[in-house]
């Protein structure tokens, strides 16, 4: 029918127009996105290319040749030894030199705990050392070792060396290296806890004994009593002991074993020198 054909033709035309409008709208949006993004993309690409070019030029520039090394933090480590170790890096380009290798080289020194190396433009390496803290002297066999707070052995001492006045960890009867190191670690943990909380007590500790089951005991300067303490004690138990020291001394003039591991009581028993 004529009316029906005309209606269908009109509907088709409107559908086609809507499709064309939608397509043009999508195209316009895409063009807007491209106009917005493309300049920024080109700018970033130019910056990356230019930055890479400049970086490569800097790495080849002679003005950045390492001529100076600054060293800090060396109290026990010999600065001349470190300077000798890192001298091979002089003459290298500041930005090409291997910082990790420098740190590994310096850390070979037994006193060195951590190392941080920083580049200082135009020609300087700044090496910052953190050293182990000496906390005790271990008597192992006939040798005296200087022990750090983390259990590391940092030096060998001659008997009676006056350089360090520290507690002695007595391992003279120990023959197993592995067990000796475990005992050193247990003693180091206790001593570090006490030094941090009660340095005045740490300064009067004369000797540390560690049993095979890792029980730690202490001897104080000019005191015959053997003090058994918890491994993680921070000095509080020893403070309690000092409060009743005279009474214990009066009742045990030849010395006693004083067990301080219990919160509410102090156990005193005859001294058999076994813990």
Q: Are 235 and 197 in contact (CB under 8 A)?
A: yes
Task: Examine residue 178 and state whether it is found in any structural domain, yes or no.
Answer: yes
The tally of domains found in the chain comes to 3
Give the CA distances from residue 162 to residues 43, 74, 165, 186, 210, in Å, rounded to whole numbers and listed in that order: 68, 20, 7, 25, 24
Please provide the size of the chain in residues: 275
Same-domain check for residues 95 and 214? no
Domain boundary among 60, 84, 104: 60
Contact assessment for residue 119 and residue 94, using Cβ atoms and an 8 Å cutoff: yes
For 171-195, the pLDDT digits (tens) are 877 778 888 888 888 898 889 888 8
Same domain, yes or no: 111 and 139: no
Reading the block at residue 19, the tokens are 């499709």
With a threshold of 0.85, does the pTM exceed it? no
Q: Residues 103, 220: one domain?
A: no
CATH number at residue 252: 3.40.50.11690
Q: Are 250 and 142 in a shared domain?
A: yes
CB 258 within 8 A of CB 219: no
Closest by alpha carbon to 170, among 152, 154, 186?
A: 186
Range of the domain at 119: 63-131
Q: Are 99 and 117 in contact (CB under 8 A)?
A: yes
Residue 140 and residue 174: Cα distance in Å, rounded?
7
Statement to judge: residues 221 and 105 lie in one domain? no
Q: Is residue 275 part of a domain?
A: no
As given in the structure block, the two tokens for residue 55 are: 């970086």
Q: What is the pLDDT of residues 115-172, one digit of tens each?
A: 999 999 999 999 999 999 899 999 887 788 899 988 888 888 876 666 678 999 988 7
Alpha-carbon dihedral angle through residues 178, 181, 187, 192, given to the nearest 10 degrees: -140
CB 69 within 8 Å of CB 90: yes
* Same domain membership, residue 205 and residue 118: no
CATH of the domain at 96: 3.10.20.310
Residue found under tokens 């790495």: 59
115 and 206 share one domain: no
Q: What is the pLDDT of residues 18-74, one digit of tens each?
A: 555 566 567 667 667 667 766 777 778 778 877 776 666 555 566 789 999 999 999
């Amino acid at each position: 029918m004529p009316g029906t054909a005309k209606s269908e033709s009109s509907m088709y035309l409107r559908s086609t127009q809507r499709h064309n409008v939608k397509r043009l709208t999508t195209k316009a949006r895409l063009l807007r996105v491209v106009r917005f993004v493309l300049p920024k993309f080109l700018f970033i690409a130019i910056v990356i290319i230019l930055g890479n070019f400049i970086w490569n030029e800097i790495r080849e520039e002679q003005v950045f040749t390492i001529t100076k090394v600054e060293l800090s933090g060396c109290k026990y480590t010999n600065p001349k030894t470190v300077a000798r170790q890192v001298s091979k890096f002089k003459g290298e380009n500041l930005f090409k030199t291997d910082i990790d290798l420098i740190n590994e080289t310096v850390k070979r020194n037994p006193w060195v705990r951590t190392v941080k190396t920083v580049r200082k433009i135009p020609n300087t390496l700044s090496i910052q050392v953190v050293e182990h803290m000496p906390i005790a002297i271990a008597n192992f066999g006939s040798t005296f070792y200087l022990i750090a707070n983390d259990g590391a052995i940092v030096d060998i001492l001659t008997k009676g060396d006056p350089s360090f006045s520290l507690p002695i960890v007595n391992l003279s009867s120990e023959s197993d290296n592995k067990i000796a190191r475990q005992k050193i670690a247990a003693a180091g943990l206790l001593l570090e806890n006490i030094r941090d909380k009660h340095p005045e007590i740490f300064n009067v500790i004369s000797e540390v004994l560690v049993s095979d089951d890792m029980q730690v005991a202490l001897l104080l300067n000019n005191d015959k009593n053997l003090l058994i303490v918890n491994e993680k004690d921070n000095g509080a138990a020893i403070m309690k002991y000092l409060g009743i020291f005279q009474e214990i001394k009066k009742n045990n003039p030849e010395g006693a074993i004083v067990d301080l591991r219990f919160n509410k009581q102090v156990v005193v028993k005859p001294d058999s020198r076994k813990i």
